Amino acid sequence: MHIRQIISGIAVLLVTASCAPTPQVEKKSEPAETLKTEVPKPRVGEPVSPISAATVSNVDLVELGKKLFFDPRLSKSGFISCNSCHNLSMGGSDNLKSSIGHKWNKGPINSPTVLNSSMNLAQFWDGRAKDLKEQAGGPIANPGEMAFTHELAVGVLQSIPGYVDEFKKVFGSVPITIDQITQAIAAFEETLVTPDSRFDKWLLGDDNAITKDELEGYELFKSSGCTACHNGPALGGNSYQKMGVVEPYKASSKVEGRSAVTGKDADRFNFKVPTLRNVALTYPYFHDGEAATLAKAIDVMGQIQLGKKFTPEENAKMVAFMKTLTGKQPVFEIPVLPPSSDDTPSPEPFGK
């Protein structure tokens, strides 16, 4: 017994003695190694900066805006919602050359993505709306889009008890106003930010986030001069530029761009530079939707903006780079809309 106790005592001592120092050594060496190899340093001096997820301050307002974004009852037909032309399952666009509005109306222009649109200096290709709130009122009353009026849209929502309750909860006041509607939609749109693209990971210092070809595509994008216009966090959205700097662009659409807003001849064919984030999802390209593929859009840009002709290999590398700009798409449950009441005006899908 006595000897056994001593032996087991020694054994315990040995165990503790042999165990104790080991974790200490590990604790000391591990963080040092992690620092060296695993904490990436954000790259400095790049013309493009990474984006981070939107922070939601008013959850109820955003939820209401999400419902309105998906609600076709804001249109005369009762069939067209914001999501019809800015489909959040398809990069926030409709993937059509030009959008289809009320009574199958052929729109004059390609629908830009709503993803990351909060980063734009203004809204629309010609910047005629100063922000998302001002923009959101446009399509509802546009005869070629949702073909409604603000008064009728308000009337419809006011006839839906579920909405009345929700507006009351969010704004604390009734009746519903168009101002509240556009404010809620804008708040939802502000959440449609797409962080964590592979390119962002690379910008944040992860060397392995993009391949050699993709990196070469980015280098070419920079050295060719594309970043003169496609720069900043959205790779665009922050300036108006001429479409056709070196050579004129023969558009299939009649719109003339920024001059429609400023009235200045010098602004003819100036358009807001589109964001290139998620550009692999937002085909076809340009305000007239004439470039069906990224390869085509890059060729046209090289030629008419910079006077450059890219080899097929160079073009392919830039396409590869652009595909790294697809970020984490907004993820949420499809909103369940409150049902109409007996007083809700009937939709007029075939009304003029």
The reply to whether 229 sits near ligand HEC by the rule CB under 6 A is: yes
Which one of residues 48, 54, 119, 146 is an interface residue with ligand HEC (CB under 6 A)?
146
The reply to whether 153 sits near ligand HEC by the rule CB under 6 A is: no
The reply to whether 180 sits near ligand HEC by the rule CB under 6 A is: no
Q: Assess whether the previous peptide bond of 175 is cis (omega < 30° from 0).
A: yes
The reply to whether 51 sits near ligand HEC by the rule CB under 6 A is: no
Q: Residue 312: helix, strand or coil by DSSP?
A: helix
H or E stretch at 271: strand 270-272
The reply to whether 282 sits near ligand HEC by the rule CB under 6 A is: yes
Antiparallel, parallel or unpaired: β 105-106 and 240-242: unpaired
Q: At its nearest, how many Å lie between ligand HEC and the CB of residue 70?
A: 10
Q: How many CA atoms lie within 13 Å of 206's alpha carbon, on the beta-carbon side?
A: 13
Give whichever of 202 and 285 is closer to ligand HEC, judged by the CB atom.
285
Q: At its nearest, how many Å lie between ligand HEC and the CB of residue 145?
A: 4
Alpha carbons 113 and 277: distance in angstroms, whole number? 10
Alpha carbons 197 and 210: distance in angstroms, whole number? 10
Q: How many CA atoms lie within 13 Å of 7's alpha carbon, on the beta-carbon side?
A: 4
Residue identified by tokens 């962002």 is: 200
> Is there a catalytic annotation at residue 145?
yes
Question: Which residues between 83 and 112 bind ligand HEC (CB under 6 A)?
Answer: 84-86, 99, 101, 107, 109, 111-112
Which one of residues 114, 153, 193, 234 is an interface residue with ligand HEC (CB under 6 A)?
114
The reply to whether 326 sits near ligand HEC by the rule CB under 6 A is: no
- Read off φ and ψ for residue 100, nearest 5 degrees: -105, 125
The reply to whether 238 sits near ligand HEC by the rule CB under 6 A is: no
Strands of 102-233, DSSP E: 105-106
Which one of residues 62, 73, 88, 123 is an interface residue with ligand HEC (CB under 6 A)?
123
Q: Residue 189: helix, strand or coil by DSSP?
A: helix
Decide: 118 and 132 in contact? Cβ < 8 Å: yes
Which one is catalytic: 145, 166, 214, 290? 145
Binding-site residues: 82, 85-86, 102, 226, 229-230, 301
Give whichever of 40 and 142 is closer to ligand HEC, judged by the CB atom.
142
The residues that bridge with 100 in the sheet, in sequence order, are 106
| CB-based burial, 267-305: b 16+ in 10 Å, e otherwise | bebbbbbbbbbbbebbbbbbbbbbbeebbbbbbbbbbbb
The reply to whether 133 sits near ligand HEC by the rule CB under 6 A is: no
Give whichever of 210 and 298 is closer to ligand HEC, judged by the CB atom.
298
Closest CA to 325 of 233, 227, 251: 233
Number of residues that bind ligand HEC (CB under 6 A): 53
Which one of residues 70, 199, 218, 271 is an interface residue with ligand HEC (CB under 6 A)?
271
Structure tokens at 99: 């959008």
The reply to whether 117 sits near ligand HEC by the rule CB under 6 A is: yes
| Positions that interact with ligand HEC (CB under 6 A) | 80, 82, 84-86, 99, 101, 107, 109, 111-112, 114, 117, 120, 123-125, 132, 135-136, 139-140, 145-146, 185, 189, 221, 224-226, 228-230, 241, 243, 245, 271, 273-274, 276, 279, 282, 285-287, 294, 297-298, 301-302, 305-306, 318
**Annotated active-site positions, please?**
145
